[in-house]
């Protein structure tokens, strides 16, 4: 599947970011290899700055209502480069997602 703009949202106050990094959240059912591909986040290139953090929540099916989705994994990606044509992010740094109850 391709990037879905409506599933990409800022975390916290972005209006005062200055030279600091910004953080974003993104929900998708794409596999990590697709997300890591150069150009995946091109639709939001104008929002991003090198060093920004994108927390990706991978779910089983983004077409389901949010509360019907199952989390498949959570990863952190950092914006490494932004050229005139492409955004490149780091490989996903996987966070542990466990539920022991």
pLDDT single digits (tens) 10-23:
987 665 556 678 99
Q: What is the pLDDT of residues 23-48, one digit of tens each?
A: 999 999 999 999 999 999 999 999 99
Q: How many other CB atoms sit within 10 Å of the CB of residue 41?
A: 24
Rounded to an integer, what distance in angstroms lies between the CA atom of residue 99 and that of residue 96? 10
Q: What is the pLDDT of residues 39-93, one digit of tens each?
A: 999 999 999 999 999 999 999 999 999 999 999 999 999 999 999 999 999 998 8
The model carries a pTM of: 0.88
50 three-class SS:
coil
Provide the b/e sequence for 46-69 (b: ≥16 CB within 10 Å): eebeeebbbbbbbbeebeeeeeeb
The domain spans of the chain are: 5-11+19-95
Residue 94 has pLDDT above 90, yes or no: no
53 three-class SS:
strand
């Amino acid at each position: 599947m391709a990037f879905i703009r409506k599933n990409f949202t800022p975390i916290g106050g972005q209006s005062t970011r200055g030279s600091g990094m910004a953080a974003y959240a993104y929900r998708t059912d794409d596999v990590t290899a697709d997300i890591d591909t150069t150009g995946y986040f091109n639709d939001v290139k104008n929002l991003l700055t090198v060093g920004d953090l994108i927390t990706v929540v991978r779910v089983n099916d983004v077409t389901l209502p949010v509360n019907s989705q199952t989390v498949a994994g959570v990863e952190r990606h950092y914006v490494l480069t932004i050229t005139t044509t492409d955004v490149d992010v780091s490989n996903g740094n996987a966070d542990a997602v466990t539920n022991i109850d």
